[in-house]
Amino acid sequence: MGDVVQIYEDYKERADFLTVYVREAHPTDEWQMKSNLKDDVCYAQPKTLEQRVTIANDFVKRFNFTLPFGIDDMSNAANDAYAAWPERIYIIDESGRIAYRGGIGPFNYKPEEAREWLAARYGGVKHEAPKSSTNAVPATGAAASPTPAPSAAAK
């Protein structure tokens, strides 16, 4: 998730971004994984838009997710139009055509490919290496309100 957030921060002045929450990837009533229990991310597959909104709001708050966020409708129009489940990145150009279609996650989900496309189009973004400090402690790692997305229409 951090890669996508950094790409957003780097290119938000040059490109529009939208994350769309689609069906739950590992719901408790279908295909729950041990990592869901460990991370306390345990939801049944939502049956109503209200339930989807609740789960999406929890995600945004829990992970302090700063990207613009939409929610697929219960007919799964965005998911069906873009084969988005469980995760996928698309870049849509100014004419509304797909300019980049990323692989389906998790194994072929590669945000760095989207970054390369954006860099080729808008120029690369360089980041300074973190400054070292004698007092630095190694990081141990730790683990906008969403609104329903408009119905997706194939273009």
- What gap in Å lies between CA 50 and CA 57, rounded to an integer? 10
The whole-number pLDDT of residue 87 equals: 83
Q: What is the pLDDT of residue 138?
A: 43
pLDDT of residue 130: 58
DSSP assignment of 35-48, as one string?
A: HHHHTT---PPP-S
- For residue range 103-134, what is the model confidence (pLDDT) as tens digits? 988 888 999 999 999 999 999 988 766 565 45
| 2-121 CATH pick, 3.30.70.100, 3.40.1440.10, 3.40.30.10, 3.30.450.40 | 3.40.30.10
Mean pLDDT of all residues in the chain?
Answer: 80
The span from the first CA to the last CA of the chain, in angstroms, equals 28
pTM of full prediction above 0.75: no
Q: pLDDT tens, 45-89?
A: 889 999 999 999 998 998 888 999 899 999 999 999 988 887 889
What single letter denotes the amino acid at residue 2? G
